[in-house]
Amino acid sequence: MILKILKVNSGFVEKTNCYIVEDENTKDAMVIDPGGSVDDICELLDILEAKVKYIYLTHCHGDHIAGVKELKERKGGKILIHRDDAEGLHNSNINLREHIGLTKENLEADSRIDDNDILHIGNIECKVIHTPGHTAGGSSLYLEKERLVFTGDTLFKGTWGRTDLPTGDINKIMQSICNKLLVLPDDTIVYPGHGEMTRIRYEEPIYYNLMPGIE
């Protein structure tokens, strides 16, 4: 497996982490959260000789979807998002595009995904984990064999995503983190939507201290 990380500009203050996952044998690839800097993404895809199969969106906020339309036009790939965030792709009151200086854009998913769906990128198996709280349809993508998880804006190094935005819910994000992410193996690498990577083992103490009743 080849994994590339780009810090892309979406208009938001903090850069968004965009990820490219590629099977080096088949050249099939998935782009996760192309929030901008599409020229840079396409240049790297060309270097990798990658064939984009999926454009995976962890949630519908503008800083994670701003480059989707252009990327799809240039490189193809099916747009995937959890069904509970699909409306947010074209509803600016939910995706907040205009709040970060982006124009309104009608964007539709090619496929609406659900919890426990399995995606294949060549021989790479990816499991969808519905992790609501930052948004209603926030999701994470778990690669068990590779021991890594892409968590979008649900789980960050040392903290969690905002819940004061449309469809956010503090109780749900805590349930998502404690019941769906912290149960992954301790050595699982966490690749978040912003900031630095971490591991599950380093995040567990934060939530055990906040919520001592969890196991």
Query: Can you give the residue ranges of every domain in the chain?
Result: 2-210
Q: What is the DSSP string of 159-202?
A: EE---SSTT--HHHHHHHIIIIITTS-TTPEEEESSS--EEHHH
Nearest to 33 by CA among 122, 213, 136, 154: 154
Q: Rounded mean pLDDT of 75-87?
A: 97
Phi-psi region of 76 (alpha: psi -120 to 50; beta: other; left: phi over 0): left
Over its C-alpha atoms, the chain yields an Rg (Å, rounded) of: 16
Question: Between these two residues, 101 and 46, which has the higher pLDDT value?
Answer: 46
* CATH, range 2-210: 3.60.15.10
What pLDDT is recorded for position 96? 73
Measure the CA angle with vertex 180, ends 115 and 80; round to 5°: 30
pLDDT at 34 over 90: yes
pLDDT at 207 over 90: no
What pLDDT is recorded for position 130? 98
Give CA–CA dist 6/198, Å, rounded: 16
Give CA–CA dist 52/39, Å, rounded: 15
| pLDDT > 90 fraction of the chain, expressed in percent and rounded | 82
Q: pTM for this one?
A: 0.94
Q: Rounded mean pLDDT of 193-197?
A: 97
Q: Rounded mean pLDDT of 169-187?
A: 96
Cα dihedral 90, 94, 100, 105 in deg (nearest 10): 10
**Least confident residue range of 5-9, 76-80, 94-98, 165-169:** 94-98
pLDDT tens-place string over residues 139-171:
999 999 999 999 999 999 999 999 999 999 999
Nearest to 114 by CA among 142, 82, 137: 82
The sheet with strand 16-22 has its strands ordered as 2-8, 16-22, 28-32, 51-56, 78-82, 111-113
